[in-house]
Every structure is written in structure tokens, then in C-alpha cells.
Structure 1
Amino acid sequence: MVELAFSTNAYTEFTLPQAIDRIADIGYDGVEILADEPHAFLPGFGDDDRARLERRLDAAGLDVANVNANTAVGYYDDAPPSAFFEPSLCTAADDDRRWRIEYTKDAIDLAQRVDAPAVSVTSGQPLAGNPPEQAREYLRRSLHEILDYAEPRGIDVGIEFEPELLIECTAEVLDLIDEMGRDGLGVNLDIGHAAVYGEDLAETITQSVDYITGVHLEDIVGGRRGKHYHRIPGEGDLDFEAIFAALDRAGYDGYATLELYTYPEEPDRAAEESLAYLTNVR
């Protein structure tokens, strides 16, 4: 049976220990760690921080479902209030791409320490002066180096596709996985992203199941081709009973993580209402 986790990226007004305690108190079995500001921005998250994190997780009785290394807001001195994927694994600037590769390796070390099965990353965007075919080659090189580091440590790397990124749908991420031919590469399947792209969600799950490193959940208004805004399950148009039925049919028994960073002012409500709603439909 699919277990439920909650991402700390909804708790950006709280410290990481506070987020962990609240998620545990609400009743989740797992937690996703945001590897970014304000929780675990890795250049400043040292051995003492990691030891305290281990102790807090043990005390809370939570598994770590995933280390979310998708963004790097902490890279910027004065970042606007939006998610940043840059510098990415496909960025054209060698130094920036190197920074992201090393950052992802550090996330793998953190995942190994807290017994997380996987680290999630995105492809990034093919920005001006970096056409998609060139960006894809940079991405492949970056991933090969990262997987050389991750695979001996038993950590999977899940690409999270997203509309408007270089890898933006199920077909593209599966093509990349096939092209790379690496055992440790998979997909961190964000159900809402698939819905926004217009995919049949049951088909997406069936096609991806052999490669899923983790699942992200959120509701979307408009269903297919809806607006990309993460909502509490039950507040949008996705059929979560059908989603969980598809996950069960496919034999997925890992964690499904609520990713509701859109509720920074009321993360407890988002976590509580999501758990109550999904407990009734899964």
C-alpha cells in the first residue's frame, strides 16, 4: 500500500526541526527534506546539522521519502520569491553546471545519511543561447557523473519533469532514461505536472512504474491542461481515488509525498486536510 509523506517545502516559515515535528504530529509516516533554504541548503548544512537532523527524525519516527534537490534558491544573494532551477544540470555555463553537479552529490550524501532511497532533481530550462539539443547533451553529461557517484552509494536519482523545462513530460523522461541506460536513474513522478501537461494519469503511472523513485501529489484546477498551481487534494479536479487505484494496480508501494509549497502561511492546514482527504480515498 502506498504510504503518505509530506514535504518540508510547505514549512518555509519554520525551521527544519519544527517542520519535522509538525509533520510527525499530524500523522504522516514519511517526510521529504527540502535541500534548499531555509531548511538544508547544503553548502551551509554541515556535520552537526546532519547529526541533529538524524536525531530529530529518529525521535519523530519518520522515514525520509526523498531529498528534494530540485531548486537552489540559496545560491542567490537576493532571490525573488519564486522557485529557481538555475543553475541547472543543463545550464551552458561550465562553472554553474559544475556547482549544480557538486550540489547534487552533496544531496546524495545527505540521502545516504538519513536512509532516503532517492534524490530528486530537474533538468532545468534551455535558456537563451543554449538550444535544447545542446542543453540535452549537458544534461546527459551531468547525469552520468552524478550517477557514477550515486549508484555505488545505493541512492537513486529521480528526474522530476515539469512543463516548460527541458524534460517536461513522461515520454521525454522515459526517453532520457532509456538513452542513458543507467540503473540508478528514474523519475520522481509529479502527478500534477503530468495532469497540467495533459497526460492520462493512469497511463502515465503504468508507463513509469518500473522507474519511479518517488511520487509527488497535489491537486490541480482544470485537470488536464490546468493551471500549474499546487492545491490541497480535494480543492481541484484530480481524481485521487483513480490515481491510487492506478498506483496499486501498477504495484507501486513506495511513498507518495504531498508537495504543497504554495501554502507557506498555513502548512499545518494543508498537511491536515490533505491527510484526512487522502486517507478516505486511497
Structure 2
Amino acid sequence: MIPLAYGTYGLRDLSPWDAIDAIAAAGYDGVELTLAEGYRNAAPRLSSDESSKIRERLDATGVDLVGVLAKLHVLGAEGALATAARDDLLEIIGSGLSLSPRNPLIVTFTMGGRSAEWPAGRAELADALGALGATAASEGVLLAVEAHVGGLIDRPERVHWLIDQVGLESVRINFDISHFTLPGLQYDTNELIEELAPLAVHAHVKDSVPTAAGFQFVLPGDGLFDYPQYFAGMMAAGWNRPVTVEVSAMVFGQPDYEPVRAIESSYRALSRARSIAQQNFISKNGATR
């Protein structure tokens, strides 16, 4: 069965250990920790005390660390900025490795830029990611870069170009299908999975609804996305890594946002959809994968 995880991107006011407790209580199998300035007890460089407390909660709850989410300035990474991006990545890698993940550490981040800057900006991005990927490879770490609506990498063919151009096993993708299934986009869920899941080492999910301005990201289950179809497609693709909830800033920036309710409601929606897909998969194939 595909594990479910929850990211702390939308939990910046909770300490990582309190977040882990809430995530475990809801039933999740894993957690993705955001390591960034502005997050309580979770700056890129964790103190030894912070690392110890996080390890303690991971061990006590049995929740897996499925990865860490970073905020790296990738585009425009020339000269001093390139050094800063590499230094930030090394700090995040050091913090992540201090938590003793059971599997190779996965560092997830978006790449920035604007869609209209393609193709002019693609060589710069490939060069910057190549340098960061070499750093990651030297540390035994995987980078999971995320395509993003409106960003320079915002469609499947650009994802493929980037991964081929960088050409490093340490640079893979975070498959966040929500950026391809917004209102008005015409991508097919199963085709997206077939095309992008083989390139992925991590997966985010959230939901969306149409608005007068175009769209609004919402929590899983609060929008229009067909999650049973998604899980069925991921199972058919042989996906056995976690699927991680990422709460958008469009959600956690709202005045009525309740972080613990978001954790719980997302789990109910995804767990129910996963069960439907699992039952259908077993009926169709006669065995679990």
C-alpha cells in the first residue's frame, strides 16, 4: 500500500517535534520537514538539541522522515549567489543527515523563473542544477526538483528536457501533479503519471478549485481532483514511495486556517481514496503490489 506523508511547509508555527506528534496521531506514515528561515526550530542549520528532539519524536512515533523541503535560489545562481545556493544546500543536507533517515535523503525544492522565459533561461537552470546535483551526489543525497505552474519548468516536455540535460542520477523530480491538473488545463491524469512518475523520487499532492482569478489551491479532498483515479494510476505505475501532502501558502495564509484540522482532513480524504483504489486494484489484478 502506498504510504501517506505530510509536509510541514504549512506548519511553520509548530516545532518539528509537535508537528510530528500531530502527523502521527492523524495516522500518517511519514513526514517531510521544511528546513527554512522563518520556521520554528527548523532553520536550515539545525542545532544539536533540535536534531536530537526531532530524532526522538521520529523514533517514538514510528513516523519516517521521507525528505526535507528547502528554499533554494536556483535561477540566477551565478558568482556569489551560486556559492550561497551551494552553502544553503550543504546546511540543509547536514541537518537532514543528522536525523538519520533510513533511506537516501531527498531534498525537494522548486526552481523558480517564469514560463515566458523559456527557452532563454533553460541553460542557466540546467547549469545551476548540475552544480547542485554534483554537490548532492558527493553527499549521497537525491534532489527532487519540482515543476511549478507559471514557472520556467511548467509542463512535462520541459521536465524531460531538464532531467536529460542535467544527466545526473542525483537530480530527479518531485512529482506534484497539482501543478498540471489546475482548472482549465487539459492534461490527463493517467498520462501524466505514465510520463512523469518514472522520473520521480518524491510526490506531493494538494487540490484546487476554479476562481474568477483562475484557481485557488485547497486541501486534498476540498477540490475537484479525482484522488481514487490518482492512486489507482500510481499503483499501476508501480509507485511504492510515499505520497506527501503539501499545504499551499494559498491555504495556510488564510486567517481561518487551522493546521491540525488540515492534517486530519487531508488524511481522511487521502486514506479513503487510497482504500478505494486499493480495492479496485486488487479486484482487477488479484494481488497487491
**TM-score between both structures, scaled by the size of structure 2:** 0.82
8 Å CA contact 1:217, 1:257 repeated in 2: yes
Partners of 2:122 and 2:177 in 1: how far apart? 23
Q: Which amino acid aligns with 2:157?
A: A
8 Å CA contact 1:217, 1:256 repeated in 2: yes
Structure 1 residue 98 corresponds to structure 2 residue 49: no
What's the secondary structure of 1:230's corresponding residue?
strand
Alignment of 1:241-256 (within 5 A): 241-256=228-243
Structure 1 residue 194 corresponds to structure 2 residue 195: no
> Shift of the alpha carbon at 1:254?
0.4
Structure 1 residue 135 corresponds to structure 2 residue 135: no
1:45-80 superposed Cα distances (whole Å, 9 cap, x missing partner): 2333223322222122210112111x36xxxxxxxx
Find the counterpart in structure 1 of residue 284 from structure 2. none
Root-mean-square deviation (Å): 2.4
Identity %: 28
Partners of 2:124 and 2:93 in 1: how far apart? 20
8 Å CA contact 1:91, 1:126 repeated in 2: no
Unaligned residue ranges in structure 2 (runs of 5+): 275-289
CA gap 1:92/1:30 in 2 versus in 1, 3 angstroms:
closer
8 Å CA contact 1:8, 1:31 repeated in 2: yes
8 Å CA contact 1:112, 1:155 repeated in 2: no
Find the counterpart in structure 2 of residue 123 from structure 1. 111
8 Å CA contact 1:89, 1:143 repeated in 2: yes
What's the secondary structure of 1:268's corresponding residue?
helix
> Shift of the alpha carbon at 1:150?
1.6
> Shift of the alpha carbon at 1:132?
4.6
Find the counterpart in structure 2 of residue 79 from structure 1. none
1:172 aligned residue (154, 158, 183): 158
8 Å CA contact 2:115, 2:150 repeated in 1: no
Q: Which amino acid aligns with 2:58?
A: L
CA gap 1:62/1:138 in 2 versus in 1, 3 angstroms:
same
CA gap 1:96/1:247 in 2 versus in 1, 3 angstroms:
same
Partners of 1:234 and 1:133 in 2: how far apart? 36
Q: Which amino acid aligns with 2:168?
A: R
Find the counterpart in structure 1 of residue 195 from structure 2. 207
Find the counterpart in structure 2 of residue 268 from structure 1. 260
- Report how many residues are paired: 261
Alignment of 1:137-152 (within 5 A): 137-152=123-138
CA gap 1:165/1:238 in 2 versus in 1, 3 angstroms:
same
Unaligned residue ranges in structure 1 (runs of 5+): 73-87
1:229-256 superposed Cα distances (whole Å, 9 cap, x missing partner): 3312221110000000110010001011
Alignment of 1:230-249 (within 5 A): 230-249=217-236
> Shift of the alpha carbon at 1:111?
3.0
8 Å CA contact 2:115, 2:151 repeated in 1: no
Partners of 1:183 and 1:95 in 2: how far apart? 26
Q: Which amino acid aligns with 1:90?
A: L
Q: Which amino acid aligns with 2:133?
A: L
Q: Which amino acid aligns with 1:178?
A: D
**TM superposition outliers: structure 1 runs of 4+ over 3 Å:** 131-135
1:121-164 superposed Cα distances (whole Å, 9 cap, x missing partner): 22111599xx5555333322222222222224332111101012
Partners of 1:126 and 1:98 in 2: how far apart? 23
Partners of 2:146 and 2:124 in 1: how far apart? 17
What's the secondary structure of 1:215's corresponding residue?
strand
Structure with max Cα Rg: 2
Find the counterpart in structure 2 of residue 42 from structure 1. 44
Partners of 1:257 and 1:38 in 2: how far apart? 19
Partners of 1:230 and 1:105 in 2: how far apart? 31
